Amino acid sequence: MVVVIANNLPPAVRGRMKLWFVEPRANVFVSGIKDSVAEGVIKYLFESCPANSGLLVMQRINKAPYYKIWGMGDPKHRIAEIDGLQLIFEKLGMD
Amino acid sequence: MSEEKNKRLFIKINRNNLPQVKDKYPFIYLERGRLEIDDSSVKWIDSEANLVRLPIAMLNAILLGPGTSITHEAVKVITASNCMICWVGEDSMLFYAVGQSPTSDTRNMRKQMELAINGKKRVEVARRMFSRRFPQENVSQKSLKELMGMEGLRVRRLYESKAKEYGVGWKGRQYTPGKFELGDLTNQILTSSNAALYGILTSAIYSLGYSPHVGFVHSGSPLPFVYDMADLYKEDLCIDLAFSLTYEMGGKYNKHRVVEDFRKRVIQNKLLENIGKDITMALGK
């Protein structure tokens, strides 16, 4: 399963996304595609989107912790990694 | 309306909304920071004031390194969510906190006790454990003492063959409690990865409703069942890791590298997925 959340996608990419995804809300996409297909689609997304798309992709994977997160451009919260576990920094202390 | 407003949203932790051991993340290691509760969730604030929420019910164990503090409420919530807290010293010794796990009842523990106190059944369990390690040998007539002798020899040979494989000098296993730094590099990695393995296994064993204190092969130590089970996994998770890392680290001990590589192997070998099945295999249907 893949969930994509974006701030702003180019119309062409947004249209193309609907080949695989349903869009229950504007710029929120959900799909049940398998891992092998997901890799290709996510790669396509990252290649086609400009940096200000604010892209957040969540994918189900089949080994612990069973999810993977990608972020691109304008991330409100940085993705943290503690011992290989992806978490979200809610507040950054130093910068 | 006002009644609605005052109603607190509170999800009760019970066995239906906690994941099974096999679906959890094995462990995370935290040091220099603080664990506390905020809005009913567990938050980690590190020494640089970065704030991260931890999905505690998805974790099998938290290893707390030096320089960490934790609040009373955090211990309560973490243990109620069936996540084990281990305090890890600089010398890799572990101290545990265990909560009353809502996912387990006493059925499994009762079965374990019945097998352990019956001499004949106890040896049968030990033989089943050893038959995994010696698939070519017939262990059905061997006594506990003979089995342990076989195991000692196997491990010594294993150390030597791994030392040869990776081209690492080996003078034997040494471990003096409290004098971690005195051991050579391979021994230091062995000690700390063994300690982490014991932490994960203790947590998993509790979560599955068994007792780490009732063993079949080992006895007279604080966690005999943990040591019994650990022997099934040590070869690849600890021994091979220790020799391959000694080769790669080039003489300088780096605990973060050890923890990271150990965790990768735990996930690769599907330890948490296998432990439930392996205990059932050992104890018999």
Please tell me the predicted confidence (pLDDT) of residue A3: 95
Q: Which residues, 6 or more positions from B108, have their beta carbon under 8 angstroms from its beta carbon?
A: B208, B209, B210
What are the strands, taking DSSP E only, across chain B? 28-30, 33-38, 41-46, 51-54, 61-64, 68-70, 84-88, 94-97
For A94, the closest chain B residue by CA position comes to: B48
The answer, for A83 touching chain B at a CB cutoff of 8 Å, is yes
Whether A94 contacts A72, CB under 8 Å: no
Bridge partners of A70, per DSSP, are A57
CA proximity to B263, closest of B192, B166, B178: B192
Chain B partners within 8 Å of A60 (Cβ): none
Give pLDDT tens digits for A42-74.
998 989 888 888 889 999 988 889 999 998 876
Best of A58, A69, A83, A87 to mutate (most B CBs within 10 Å, chain B): A83
- Per-residue pLDDT tens digits for A2-50: 999 998 888 999 988 898 999 999 999 999 998 888 988 999 898 988 8
- Do B212 and B206 touch, CB atoms closer than 8 A? yes
Secondary structure of residue A59 in the 3-state scheme: strand
Per-residue confidence at B26, pLDDT binned at 50, 70, 90?
very high
Chain A interface includes B61 (CB < 8 A) = no
Residue at token pair 């089970």: B229
Whether the pLDDT of residue A75 is over 80: the answer is no
Q: Do B52 and A94 touch (CB under 8 A)?
A: no
CB of A95 within 8 Å of a chain B CB? The answer is no
The values of phi and psi at residue A59, to 5°, are -125, 140
Whether residue A56 contacts residue A6, with contact meaning beta carbons closer than 8 Å, is answered with yes
Q: What per-residue confidence (pLDDT) applies to B261?
A: 92
pTM equals 0.82
State whether residue A16 is helix, strand or coil.
helix
**pLDDT at position B169:** 87
| DSSP codes joined into one string, B106-174 | SHHHHHHHHHHHSHHHHHHHHHHHHHHH-TTS--TT--HHHHHHHHHHHHHHHHHHHHHHHT-------
Per-residue pLDDT at B103: 63
For tokens 């104890």, the residue is: B283
For residue B126, how many C-alpha atoms fall within 13 Å in the half-sphere facing its CB?
26
CB nearest B52 (choices: A66, A84, A88): A88
Task: Sort out which chain A residues have CB atoms less than 8 A from B44's CB and list them.
Answer: 82
- The distance of A10 to chain B (nearest Cα, Å) reads 32
Tell whether the model's pLDDT for residue B160 goes beyond 90.
Answer: yes
Question: In one letter, which amino acid is B48?
Answer: E
